[in-house]
Amino acid sequence: MLEYTQRLLVASAWIAYWTLPKALAWLADIGGTNARFALVALDQPRPRLLAPQSRPTAAYGDLSEAAGAYLEEQWYLGRPLTASIAVANRNSATWSRAATASIEFSKGAS
C-alpha cells in the first residue's frame, strides 16, 4: 500500500509541476475604497487571471503591506516576475495619494 501511495504522490507532484504557471505577473488596482489583486499566468497560450481578490484599502497601512498580505496567501502559485499597479488618486507635482486611503506615492521616494 505504501508503494501505491508514493506513486500517487509522485504523479500528483508531476501534474502540479506541469500545470502550474511558470511566469506570473501581479496586478493591483488600488482605489479609495477597495484594492483589487490578481496574478496572471503569462506562459499560457491565452493569459488568464488567477486568484482575483478584492479587499478594503483601509485595512492596510501602505501598498507593501497590502501586496505582502495578498502574495503570502498565493505562495503556492509562485513568485511574480513583474507587476502592474493602477491607482485612483489625487496628484500634485511631487506626490500622489489614493482618494480616501492612507496609501501615498512620492516622486522622490526610492
Question: Which pLDDT band holds residue 60 (cuts at 50, 70, 90)?
Answer: confident
Q: In which band, very low, low, confident or very high, does the pLDDT at 106 lie, cut at 50, 70 and 90? A: low
pLDDT digits (tens, 9 = 90+) for 76-100: 788 888 888 887 766 555 555 555 5
- 109 vs 33: which has the higher pLDDT: 33
C-alpha cell at 83: 507587476
The average pLDDT across 65-70 equals 90
Identify the band that residue 70 occupies on the pLDDT scale cut at 50, 70 and 90.
very high
Average pLDDT of the chain is 75
In the prediction, which pLDDT does 20 show? 59
- Report which secondary-structure segment, H or E, holds 27: strand 24-30
pLDDT tens by residue, 35-56: 899 999 888 788 788 899 999 9
Distances (CA, A) of 30 to 9, 52, 66, 81, 107: 40, 13, 10, 20, 17
The residues spanned by each domain of the chain are 21-106
Q: Which CATH number fits domain 21-106: 3.30.420.40, 3.40.190.10, 3.40.50.720, 3.40.50.970?
A: 3.30.420.40
Residue in this structure with the C-alpha cell 502592474, named with its chain if needed:
84
